[in-house]
Structure 1
């Protein structure tokens, strides 16, 4: 398939956090969209189509947002793909713009969770774990226990992920939490699912993020140059059936998600300068980085402990603060990751800037399906 280059020309977010009922999904989405449009030197009338990712927003959330933006009548696509919803919206927008179906599109990820979610989130109700009342934290706790057993890793090494990501979030004005935490605080936090404590878990969050993407014709229409990060491609895979013999941490779905990205974009894993990783729990960052092949199997805990995945390290992971401290309004997460890649590749990330970054990868994993190793994985590659 012939593709034309696609650029991220505008990024916008509202700060993730917990908002009162008066701050609706639509209000957050419109605010993020207007910020992205401003960066792109665009108006709603310049936009050919809107793609919106949300889990809880409803089947016509995009049309409600479009009406408030002054875009009613334009093509609107609503996407729900669990935690990959926003990332899937980015992918569909990239496909549409790269093939010339549209020249300029607006992608939004938005979620209002605090009105609807309290406590731990269950896996899919068809899963045996969910049927017995186990929340997602329990699945990741089992992952952590297995990882510690298989690789002689320590509880402190897993906790180091939270310390690192909170340290990064200090420099992110859009993060839900903007303060550093100590290793001792992570280890002493209230236990959620042994061995994981409160600070090993991403929070319930509200928020929205938006991205304007354009091809060459779209850039000309907006009157902007080509010096904007390019979306090289976005992989999307779903889980495969297994017979129960795989290790909980094998992460074959992550391996295949990575291969999809490498095949589409033509880059090599060694080309990646930094990663925005779906760290819904501390252990998730470790095993998914290993599954992608970006960190040797069994070494992720030690890399975190030794600072190799921190700013200034060998491969910075989650300079934004990640889900653990930026927050995780599920439908917004994938678009927020794309915004972070955009700002990093422009050199506009301030105190969290990855020095010399030219290629970034964003990874989202969404949902569970009984008998498989996950519902969906998206891998977005952008380059300066």
Structure 2
């Protein structure tokens, strides 16, 4: 049986970017939460529970935020699944609403990275990959080389992901970067992990995003009538142990997350009109779209080059600009993706609007665990 959907009553964000030290994690979260509550017409007294996704926020960050929002005393939970933390918080809120535990839930994704992260993000220091000096960029550099060798893709085709996503972010007032980049700029950028350069990589970012999710009773409590976007479901899987003989870009963990999403929601890949994809690196957008079955295996680079994943193409991907240009404050990303889908389905996305969109999917992949094909993967489906 498909669980009951959660209605998206409100969505709010602050612009992602690099904020000074006196802008705290709590203050960013409060601003995003107030934006979502204002969008829903909700007051603090109408909120039943708070779900907060973050990675570097420290102990009980959600409770610190709740106190500043006047939501002290409520059930508050903190969710850490690396880059999938915000989406995991959405999943937990959706589950609680479907179970009848609450009627109005506030979900916040937030991260202050610029004063906590130096250089690229890494696995946990106790993980074998980290002990061997592995960084995320190295893994994606290897992925790009393998993909090029296996499928005849060119460096320019992979770089075209960054060109596309920066072109989309020009129209996103919440994006960290709001200017286009040329293919020549991407190809000529400072090398990070060959063949990937600086513009193939998502930046270190600060930011926050929030949602108000409701049951039908919750909508009535807020005085909201008519049609609202609905969270049909959010799948969550973790990486499985690999034997060392599998294809580096097999993305079995993505396949399993997609299959779980289709089963939970009753939606299939043929129903998806737009995608917010976890493009932490250019190659990641390509292999993950293939992994969840939205693009034929080995065709992702060519689809990008041909414009199929641009706004107006066959399958618009990252109309928000994605992680590459909207920014990637890791705990906030999954909620920001859901905000973007909400605005798209409401037809409130202005210059980046995907015409006629009815069903959107957001994908997040969080972290690595040595010997497996990933830490956690979420696939969130939102419809009109």
The alignment's TM-score, normalised by the length of structure 2, stands at: 0.99
Looking at structure 2, the residues matched to 100 and 173 of structure 1 have their Cα atoms a distance apart, in angstroms, of: 36
- Summarize deviations over 1:268-318 as a string: whole Å, max 9, x none: 101000000000000000000000000000000001111000000000000
Q: Does 1:266 find its partner at 2:269? A: no
Report the CA distance between 1:81 and its aligned residue.
0.8
- Runs of 4 or more, structure 1, over 6 Å off, are none
Contact 2:156 2:183 in 1 (8 A): yes
Q: Does 1:334 find its partner at 2:334? A: yes
Q: Does 1:299 find its partner at 2:299? A: yes
Contact 2:129 2:370 in 1 (8 A): no
Report the CA distance between 1:131 and its aligned residue.
2.0
Contact 2:2 2:265 in 1 (8 A): no
Looking at structure 2, the residues matched to 4 and 373 of structure 1 have their Cα atoms a distance apart, in angstroms, of: 31
Equivalent residue for 2:368?
Answer: 368
List gaps (5 residues or longer) in structure 2.
none
Report the CA distance between 1:58 and its aligned residue.
1.3
Contact 2:5 2:233 in 1 (8 A): no
Equivalent residue for 2:119?
Answer: 119
Report the CA distance between 1:126 and its aligned residue.
4.8
Contact 2:2 2:266 in 1 (8 A): no
Report the CA distance between 1:46 and its aligned residue.
0.5
Q: State the Cα RMSD in Å.
A: 1.0
Looking at structure 1, the residues matched to 130 and 249 of structure 2 have their Cα atoms a distance apart, in angstroms, of: 19
Question: What aligned pairs does 1:127-142 form with structure 2 within 5 A after superposition?
Answer: 127-142=127-142
Equivalent residue for 1:380?
Answer: 380
Looking at structure 1, the residues matched to 281 and 292 of structure 2 have their Cα atoms a distance apart, in angstroms, of: 17
Contact 2:9 2:212 in 1 (8 A): yes
Equivalent residue for 1:290?
Answer: 290
Contact 2:2 2:264 in 1 (8 A): no
Equivalent residue for 1:345?
Answer: 345
Q: Does 1:253 find its partner at 2:264? A: no
Looking at structure 2, the residues matched to 127 and 150 of structure 1 have their Cα atoms a distance apart, in angstroms, of: 29
SS in 2 for 1:288: helix
Report the CA distance between 1:132 and its aligned residue.
2.4
SS in 2 for 1:58: coil
Question: What aligned pairs does 1:310-325 form with structure 2 within 5 A after superposition?
Answer: 310-325=310-325
Equivalent residue for 1:170?
Answer: 170
Contact 1:109 1:209 in 2 (8 A): yes
Looking at structure 1, the residues matched to 364 and 150 of structure 2 have their Cα atoms a distance apart, in angstroms, of: 25
Report the CA distance between 1:128 and its aligned residue.
4.4
Equivalent residue for 1:206?
Answer: 206
Contact 1:4 1:216 in 2 (8 A): no
Contact 1:286 1:301 in 2 (8 A): yes
Contact 1:126 1:369 in 2 (8 A): no
Contact 1:63 1:76 in 2 (8 A): yes
Question: What aligned pairs does 1:29-68 form with structure 2 within 5 A after superposition?
Answer: 29-68=29-68
Report the CA distance between 1:3 and its aligned residue.
3.8
Looking at structure 1, the residues matched to 2 and 132 of structure 2 have their Cα atoms a distance apart, in angstroms, of: 49
Contact 1:365 1:376 in 2 (8 A): yes
Report the CA distance between 1:118 and its aligned residue.
1.5
Looking at structure 2, the residues matched to 2 and 166 of structure 1 have their Cα atoms a distance apart, in angstroms, of: 37
SS in 2 for 1:74: coil
The alignment's TM-score, normalised by the length of structure 1, stands at: 0.99
- Summarize deviations over 1:338-360 as a string: whole Å, max 9, x none: 10010000000010000100000
- Summarize deviations over 1:326-375 as a string: whole Å, max 9, x none: 00000000000010010000000010000100000000000111111001
Report the CA distance between 1:130 and its aligned residue.
2.3
Contact 1:2 1:99 in 2 (8 A): no
